[in-house]
Chains A and B, each alone.
Chain A
Amino acid sequence: MTLEILGITVLWTFLFGYIIVGSIDYGAGFFNAYSIITGKDHILSNVIQRYLSPVWEVTNVFFVFFFVGIVGFFPDTAYYFGTIFLIPGSIALILLAIRGSYYAFETYGTKGHKGYAIMYGLSGLIIPASLSIVLTISEGGFVFIEDENPVLDYWALFTSPLSWSIVILSIVAVLYISAVFLTWYANKTGDLKATNLMRKYALIWALPLIITAGGIIYELKFHSPEHYERIIDLWWMFGLSFLLWIATVWFIWKRRKYGISVWLMFGQFALAFYGFGISHYPYLLYPYLTIYEGFTNQAMAISLVVVFILGLALLIPSIYLLFKLFLFDKNYLKGKQKKE
């Protein structure tokens, strides 16, 4: 494995991590807001707050990790994506800032400002949408070079069915991932009403998810035939992903093994996400930037990998502790306090 491949694998993994924990977070915010509007907040709020409060900051770090890491391993991306991404990136940043401060302002300040909670829920859908634009851009066809500087063609981007499909997929995926996870979490806390409600949401979003995901592959056939070919070469990954989706839905439908459903759902998204990533190889921004052209120097690459391994040695036990205390602790889950 070359350092380039190692670098992009690490980053892709952290992006995957962000997509999963971020989706849970964004979706939970949305369901929270939705339950306030429909007057069901007494069912959901407790469960959602109890999970989210201790982990929101950690969620945010996954995102920071990705964009710092990509500039480290592939400094040229700062030049290309930095220049292009100013507007969508800034919008996402402002929304992220409003979301991030919500916890502090709302949870620790006063309880229950409706307007803020609704804004919070909506921002959770707009952020993934604005961030997912980067996936569309990297497909190529939306960026041209003018006076040696890359420029984004907003008109082409906004009129492209591909960009809208990716936006819709990102929103649906957020709602689905979050619903499946919270079904399990609510079940763990022993809250039957919340479990049933989340189960219903998970089932509602399952079908749109698979339709939009399939639709994107179909659209790529016309937008980037080369990329489409590579996806077809990897058909077994996407096929396996599809089977995992069926299994997840089946378990949730049958109200059985919510824990396994969550793992199956992770597996489904991992296969699709890595399949998509591998099929994009070797381009970071088609056709201008490949992982080989944009890679950092040897010395930096090695030191980044060393720091990464040392960092993980520190992080994995810490994350384990966090999970142990807040995700797998029976007393915490049920809202009881037991002194240790």
Chain B
Amino acid sequence: MLFEDPVIASRFLTLLTLSFHIIYATIGVGVPLMIMIAQWIGIRKNDEHYILMARRWARGFVVTVAVGVVTGTVIGLQLSLLWPNFMELAGQIIALPLFMEVFAFFFEAIFLGIYLYTWDRFEDQRKHFFLLIPVALGAGMSALFITIVNSFMNTPQGFDIMDGQIVNANPIAAMFNPAMPTKVSHVLATAYMTVAFMLAAIAAYNLIKGSKHVYHKKALHLTMKVGLIFAIAAAIIGDFSGKYLAEYQPEKLAAAEWHFETEEGAPLLLYGVLDENNEVKGAIKIPYALSILAFSVPTSEVIGLNEFPVEETPPLIVHYYFDLMITIGVFMIVLSLVFWIGIKRGWAFVKATWYRWLIVLGGPLSFLAIEAGWWMTEVGRQPWILRGIMTVEEAATSSDYVGLISILFIALYIILGIGTVVVLRRIFKDNPVEKELKASQGGENA
């Protein structure tokens, strides 16, 4: 299959590249902010531990940034290689945010280089801190612009088509499309949340492994707090996203919720499976919840999937992605909220090993939620590449070699993935916090 049909092969390769890139891209967006926060607290409290935290995070960050940069370059060029017809059309309308993304990336790259190689060059840590602002800003802006491109694909606007030709192109209107506000804010919030929980997982793991150092406790408290804030933000924005979907992409919402018949007071389905007759089995039904999610009014009417022509309905598998994303999101909110209240109230169990294991689990789970969310949004707009305008079939390359090339890229991602893990382990395993603190200040212990 993969070797015969360039459309399927192109979809597969794009899925693979993006799924791999998203892991690093999320880290790339989130970590600079966390480094910034740690460095800032370190300066404010005059606490060596937080400065070291920023430094250690930055050191690991470089490795992921490198892979993020190269996989980002790959997807950037692959867009033209695999979807030439799409890029020809989209280039007319959406090239502006793509172009701006490159500038944001440029800006970030320059200051990241400076930041990383000037650790010992400034007497005043504040000078060094200022270098981080453009890094974090550039990372956020890249995410902003590239998500704008994606939201345009979901709700294309800013042009008219006459006789198959684009007329009245308006790049600004194309950028400020209806999907943009919820998408951009959800992407940013979940990236910050995921990275915070990833760093929390590392801190919790070190505590489980017997390091009693106060450094890890500080790291854990800080990251769980930041994670909680962004997890709640992500949930609120997620609700807005539901309302956006109900209005602009009802077929995606309906597919995600296995909502076939248009009805008022629609229930929300959680979990369950779909049998061969498209009958839902074993789902938890929450009455009126879908109507609330869609329009904030329990009795409002939600359009069902049956209203759409069969060839324009998204695959029903997106329901599982939706469940996965929501479940993890809620789990993380509860986990971090209980942790935070527990710390304030002195509950012992939040310091227990089993609870810390849950926090460790939270790191990978958050990444899984990111993947699931993207799969839902991308698979959920099938069969369109530009909703209502161009299908993926029309957009794909006519070249026969995509299947072959895919194998090379699979090999590449395996190498990069393993490489990242091996290198990160090497950086941190032989150089625990205790050792580094001793080296930097001659043996002060907490």
Contact = CB atoms under 8 A, between A and B. Distances in A.
B161 interface: no
A95 to B, nearest CB: 10
Contacts of A82: 80-84, 87-88, 397
B358 interface: no
B73 A100 contact: yes
Contacts of A296: 91-92, 95
A315 B98 CA distance: 17
Contact of A325 (B65, B118, B169, B416): B118
B405 interface: yes
B366 to A, nearest CB: 23
Contacts of B236: none
B103 A299 contact: no
A81 interface: yes
Contact of B113 (A54, A74, A151): A54
Contacts of B106: 58, 61, 65, 311, 315, 318
A109 B59 CA distance: 10
Interface string A49-63: 000011101101101
A304 B399 contact: no
Contacts of A94: 408-409, 412
A251 interface: no
B416 A97 contact: yes
Interface residues of A, number: 70
Given A89-B77, A105-B63, A299-B169, A68 B127 contact: no
A67 B91 contact: no
B95 A75 contact: yes
A60 B87 contact: no
Nearest to A61: B106
A109 to B, nearest CB: 4
A109 B426 CA distance: 6
Contact of B107 (A304, A314, A326): A314
A319 B58 CA distance: 21
B95 A300 contact: yes
Contact of A68 (B102, B111, B415): B102
Interface string A217-247: 0000000000000000000000000000000
| Dominant SS among interface residues on chain A | helix
B297 interface: no
B88 A109 contact: no
B171 interface: yes
Given A61-B102, A64-B73, A340 B122 contact: yes
Nearest to A109: B423
Interface string B53-96: 00000010011111101111110111111111101111111011
B344 interface: no
B402 to A, nearest CB: 7
B117 A100 contact: no
B44 interface: no
A54 B121 CA distance: 14
Interface string A24-58: 00000000000000000000000000000111011
Contacts of A69: 99, 102
B98 A68 contact: yes
Contacts of B64: 104
A60 B443 CA distance: 41
B118 A319 contact: no
A338 interface: yes
A207 interface: no
Q: How extensive is the interface on chain B, given as a class?
A: 35 or more
Nearest to A81: B80
B439 interface: no
B96 A72 contact: yes
Interface in A185-211: none
Interface in B391-426: 397-399, 401-402, 405, 408-409, 412, 415-416, 419, 422-423, 426
Contacts of A61: 102, 105-106, 109
B107 A85 contact: no
Contacts of B169: 297, 299-300
Given A72-B96, A72-B98, A98-B412, A83 B87 contact: no
Contacts of A86: 81-82, 397, 399, 401-402, 405
Given A82-B397, A339-B122, A103 B66 contact: yes
Nearest to B173: A299
A119 to B, nearest CB: 11
**Listed residue (A86, A147, A322) with the most chain B CB atoms within 10 angstroms of its CB:** A86
Given A72-B95, A83-B398, A93-B73, A58 B113 contact: yes
Contacts of A299: 169-171
Contacts of A308: 99
A57 B415 CA distance: 20
A339 B74 CA distance: 39
B110 interface: yes
Given A64-B76, A71-B87, A299-B169, A307 B81 contact: no
Nearest to A65: B102
Contacts of B87: 71, 75, 78-79, 82
A101 B134 CA distance: 23
B92 A300 contact: yes
Contacts of B102: 61, 64-65, 68-69
B166 interface: yes
B88 A79 contact: yes
A110 interface: yes
5 closest A-B pairs by CB = A75-B91, A72-B95, A104-B66, A82-B84, A78-B87
Given A86-B81, A109-B422, 16 more contacts: A58-B110, A64-B72, A72-B91, A78-B87, A79-B87, A85-B81, A89-B77, A96-B70, A101-B419, A109-B63, A307-B96, A315-B107, A315-B110, A318-B110, A325-B114, A326-B113
Interface of B: 59, 62-67, 69-74, 76-85, 87-93, 95-96, 98-103, 105-107, 109-114, 116-118, 120-123, 127, 134, 166, 169-172, 397-399, 401-402, 405, 408-409, 412, 415-416, 419, 422-423, 426-427
